[in-house]
Amino acid sequence: MRAFGAVLLSVPVTLFGLVLVTFLIGRVMPIDPIIAILGDHAREDVVAKLRLELGLDRSLPVQFVLYLGRLLHGDLGNSVMTSHSVVADIGQFFPATLELATVAIIIGVVVGVPLGVLAAVRQGSRTDHAIRVFCLAGHSIPVFVLGLLSLLVFYAKLGWAPGTGRIDVAFEGMVPSVTGFLTVDALLAQDWDSFWSAVGHLMQPAGVLGYFSVAYIARMTRAFMLDALGEEYVTTARAKGLSPLRVIWRHAFPNILVRLITVLALSYAGLLEGAVVTETVFSWPGLGQYLTVSLLNADMNAVLGATLVIGMSYMGLNLLADLAYRLMDPRVL
Amino acid sequence: MLTRRTLLAAGAASAIVPIEATWHTAAATPKGIFVMAKQIDDIVSFDPAQAYEFTNGEVDANCYSRLVRPDSKDNSQVAPDLAASWDVSKDGKEITFKLKKTHKFATGRVVNAHDVAFSFQRAVKLNLTPGFIVTQFGFTKDNCEQLLTAVDDSTFKMTLPKVQATSFVLFCLSATIGSIVDRETVMKHDAGGDLGNKWLTSTTAGSGSYQLTKWAASDSVILDANPHALKKPVNHRVVIRHTPEPSAQLLALEKGDADVVRDLTSELLTKAKANKAYHISKSGQGSITYLGLNCSVPQFAKIEVREAFKWAIDYDGIVNNIVPNIYEVSQSFLPVGLPGALKDNPFKRDVAKAKALLAKAGYPNGFEITMDHFNTAPYVDIAQAVQANLKDIGVTVNLLPAEKKQVYTKMRARTHQMLLSGWGTDYFDPNSNAQAFCANPDDSDGSKLKILAWRCHYFDPELTQMVEDAVVELDAKKRLAMYGKMQELARERSPFVFLMQPIATAVMGKGVSGFVMGPVFDDTKYAEVKKA
């Protein structure tokens, strides 16, 4: 547990580093933050007034210390783009991303792991080749192409799926926001029409992201399983006459779990951060889109806040993975 | 035979089919709800004292009344909105407005002169980004309560600290910042003396056709009809969905999930035009795309070089090949549609003439220069076309693509050599762009006026004086003629190569009509949109 304690201690240090680097990048960019806030048309008196108000006339170290002070009080400042506090914005945007990424990772695990195992067990067969091609396509076709294709086929041509956004227009604004997860909120409100509409809207973007995850998870699972299936304990199990399913799921699979958990944790964290293209194509108001728009508009409070949340998500998932190692494998201290 | 495999497949399908069936029937937007797909991540605040972007300006125009609005039939006039009439004193310093008693806020209260006085005083006191539109008349925090007053419930008097052209003042009052807010409701939400600014960021308190019900940034805007609106809107609800991807917008229109889409690219517009069921509304916008030449660069200090650049550009080629449908050639600092704008385009590509002018300036072999430009479409392609055009006259242009605000920062620091940029008019009056492109009374770093002429070190006392004279000219016709002259002079000698004007387009889906746009976003009205 001492090692785990060290990992826990490294969290604030890493967060401090993350804040420092992001802050410095924001300040050394060749963009005047005041122009980013007020725009090109702003007159000089208004520019000067705001520069004073925001303390941007002070030295960089002083600005950083002031920012840290506010941060420790939970104040991430206000977003230029929305005029809301960054904390409120994150409260609005992050659940949308979390909902999307969670469904996508569930698809990734439920489909990707069995596919990877199947490919490894039938190494060299047509099934293996088919799975590898399927995974290669998922990993190499850009997500925005997949997204647009998906919209074209399932929404425009076949009419099997609804269009962009999180819910049908008819239900827009009907569900009171409690958790920020539209599906959950609709369930809490017992509004079944809104629930099914939200589920329908979630399926396409989650499916596209899920396919991307499936491709990665299946490839990694296949590689881990091939290693495991070549081990002596598997040969022993087979020699003892155990059924193939028992050999695979009771002997080989548990031994790849530790490595697989790392893959899943990183994959999930990647989805939380990297869903921006999918969010844009499907007009999904998530954190990736918020971060991108903020970056393009040099909205540094928003960029810092969103980066911090993503960084914390990464660290949280890593910690969870560390904990899971200990549960899965008693040899890990 | 029922196998385990078919049973599983049937089970999975049965879970999907009922949901699929409900989506399949959605071929039109719900009755009474007007749905528009648009990029709306430019919204910062809906407070009229702060709103300065396109989408929030457009929404505010549908939620608030103003004293006057630009007259859509005659762009040299304003039309009354809240004001029934107005009188101007002989010296032009006092304008007295008589108000109609017909406009009501969403609370049901009739708009009165106290609301009008409060709204203008509030804009001056807050002095946020668009504040200069009102403060440029000389109003300050200290004098606004004495100079912007309610004489009685239906009479509002504006006393100008200095003489201003009446048409100039009226056009400025027609801007978003001239929106009249509900004084009583707003002051109930005053927080720490912010005059309700924080509250009005994400709501409205006006007497227009609609009121803002919900704004989820980068997601959607929902407006519901003002129950006491002067004229009941055709649709009781407007939903504007943030749809950043133009292809997704067109798909939504085709599937009946949107009634109007706003941001189609040139290619998608061509495709949409081919569908006879769609109607396209378009209007030239109050913006201009231009090349800015920094006169601190020795070559650009020479008027012949600036002129050579104006003759070197293939204006028609750029518009027709790079941005068809969404831009038109425009070679004046006033975009077509604004009062006093010249409509002719005198410059055509003439390589021989451009080369001769360069030789006359002492650069027969051309020179090398850098050009900053935005790194987004269509600017990247336009920059490359400009680079190729100038190469033909011997000028080597090294392109410096960058994020938009990076280009602005560099220009404001006057460290660019040449740039490709755009400028949108601040209010519906020729002074807005005339001042930006021509006025530079003090070219030093300490100047109080640092707009485009200053940023390009363009110091032209004659044009500067003309701008100052026009803004106090009380004869409206004579005033417009002055802007005509200014545009001609600026074409000839300014360091700005005016290229083109954006054309806003809205594609209306099958059976949709009544969506009309104008040269400024304030002209876009939602209340008259009809669906079959």
What is the crossing angle of helices A86-121 and A300-328, to 10°? 40
Asked which of A13, A41, A72 is the last residue of a domain, the reply is: A72
Verify whether the Cβ–Cβ distance B45 to A83 is below 8 Å: yes
Instruction: Please choose, from the candidates B332, B334, B499, the residue with its C-alpha nearest in 3D space to the C-alpha of residue B431.
Output: B334
Residue B127: closest CA among chain A residues belongs to which residue? A46
Verify whether the Cβ–Cβ distance A46 to B20 is below 8 Å: no
Q: How confident is the model at residue B179 (pLDDT cuts 50, 70, 90)?
A: very high
- Please report the DSSP string for B443-484 in residue order: -STT-S--SHHHHTT---HHHHHHHHHHTT---HHHHHHHHH
Is-contact A37 A50, C-beta < 8 A?
A: yes
Residues of chain A found within 8 Å of residue B405, distances taken between Cβ atoms:
31-32, 35-36, 40, 297-298
Verify whether the Cβ–Cβ distance A163 to B257 is below 8 Å: yes
- Let me know whether A66 and A159 are in one domain: no
Domain tally, chain A: 2
Whether A77 is covered by a domain: the verdict is no
Residues of chain A found within 8 Å of residue B239, distances taken between Cβ atoms:
169, 172
- Let me know whether A35 and A109 are in one domain: no
Asked which of A23, A42, A72 is the last residue of a domain, the reply is: A72
- Let me know whether A196 and A52 are in one domain: no
- Let me know whether A319 and A250 are in one domain: yes
Q: How confident is the model at residue B16 (pLDDT cuts 50, 70, 90)?
A: very low
Residues of chain B found within 8 Å of residue A293, distances taken between Cβ atoms:
41, 218
Verify whether the Cβ–Cβ distance B23 to A290 is below 8 Å: no
Express each pLDDT in B141-170 by its tens digit.
999 999 999 999 999 999 999 999 999 999
Verify whether the Cβ–Cβ distance B217 to A42 is below 8 Å: no
| Smallest Cα distance from B472 to chain A, Å | 21
Residues of chain A found within 8 Å of residue B128, distances taken between Cβ atoms:
46
Domain encompassing residue A310: 86-328
Asked which of A24, A47, A72 is the last residue of a domain, the reply is: A72
Residues 6+ apart with CB under 8 A from A237: A246, A247, A251
Q: How confident is the model at residue B27 (pLDDT cuts 50, 70, 90)?
A: low
What is the crossing angle of helices A287-296 and A253-274, to 10°? 40
Verify whether the Cβ–Cβ distance B257 to A169 is below 8 Å: yes
User: Is the minimum CB–CB distance between B28 and chain A shorter than 8 Å?
Assistant: no
Instruction: Tell which of A25, A37, A283, A299 to mutate to test the B interface (max B CBs under 10 Å).
Output: A283
- Let me know whether A176 and A284 are in one domain: yes
- Let me know whether A169 and A301 are in one domain: yes
Domain CATH code at residue A150: 1.10.3720.10
Whether A80 is covered by a domain: the verdict is no
Residues of chain A found within 8 Å of residue B257, distances taken between Cβ atoms:
162-163, 169
Is-contact B427 B168, C-beta < 8 A?
A: no
Express each pLDDT in A140-177 by its tens digit.
888 888 998 999 899 888 888 898 889 888 788 788 88
- Let me know whether A272 and A195 are in one domain: yes
- The pTM of the full predicted model, rounded to 2 decimals, is 0.82
Instruction: Find the range with the poorest average confidence among A41-45, A227-231, B248-252.
Output: A41-45
- Let me know whether A66 and A112 are in one domain: no
- Let me know whether A143 and A232 are in one domain: yes
User: Is the minimum CB–CB distance between B128 and chain A shorter than 8 Å?
Assistant: yes
Verify whether the Cβ–Cβ distance B244 to A161 is below 8 Å: no
Whether A333 is covered by a domain: the verdict is no
CB hemisphere CA count around B103 (13 angstroms): 28
Is-contact B494 B516, C-beta < 8 A?
A: no
Whether A39 is covered by a domain: the verdict is yes
Is-contact A279 A93, C-beta < 8 A?
A: no
Prediction ipTM score: 0.73
- Let me know whether A97 and A7 are in one domain: no
Instruction: Tell which of B8, B17, B19, B23 to mutate to test the A interface (max A CBs under 10 Å).
Output: B23
CA B17 to chain centroid, in Å, comes to: 46
Express each pLDDT in B198-207 by its tens digit.
999 999 999 9
Q: Which two tokens stand for residue B486?
A: 């200014």
Verify whether the Cβ–Cβ distance A160 to B24 is below 8 Å: yes
- B192 to each of A273, B104, B131, B300, how far by Cα in Å? 37, 28, 20, 51
DSSP state, B129? G
- Let me know whether A64 and A93 are in one domain: no
**In chain B, what is the straight-line distance between the N-terminal and C-terminal CA atoms, in Å?**
50
Chain B residues 472-511 with a CB less than 8 Å from chain A: none
Kindly state the average pLDDT of the residues A39-64. Answer: 84
Domains and CATH numbers, chain B: 30-244 (3.40.190.10), 287-503 (3.10.105.10)
Whether A129 is covered by a domain: the verdict is yes
Separation CA B162–CA A226 (nearest Å): 85
Whether A78 is covered by a domain: the verdict is no
The whole-number pLDDT of residue B1 equals 39
Whether A79 is covered by a domain: the verdict is no
Residues of chain B found within 8 Å of residue A30, distances taken between Cβ atoms:
402, 406, 409-410
Instruction: Please choose, from the candidates B244, B225, B245, the residue with its C-alpha nearest in 3D space to the C-alpha of residue B235.
Output: B225
Verify whether the Cβ–Cβ distance A283 to B245 is below 8 Å: yes
Is-contact B35 B239, C-beta < 8 A?
A: yes
Where are any strands of DSSP class E within A175-287?
Answer: none
Q: Which of A31, A165, A200 sits opposite B406 (nearest CB)?
A: A31
Whether A270 is covered by a domain: the verdict is yes
Alpha helices in B218-279 (DSSP H): 246-254, 266-273
Q: Which two tokens stand for residue B370?
A: 């850098």
- Let me know whether A223 and A286 are in one domain: yes
Express each pLDDT in B455-514 by its tens digit.
999 999 999 999 999 999 999 999 999 999 999 999 999 999 999 999 999 999 999 999
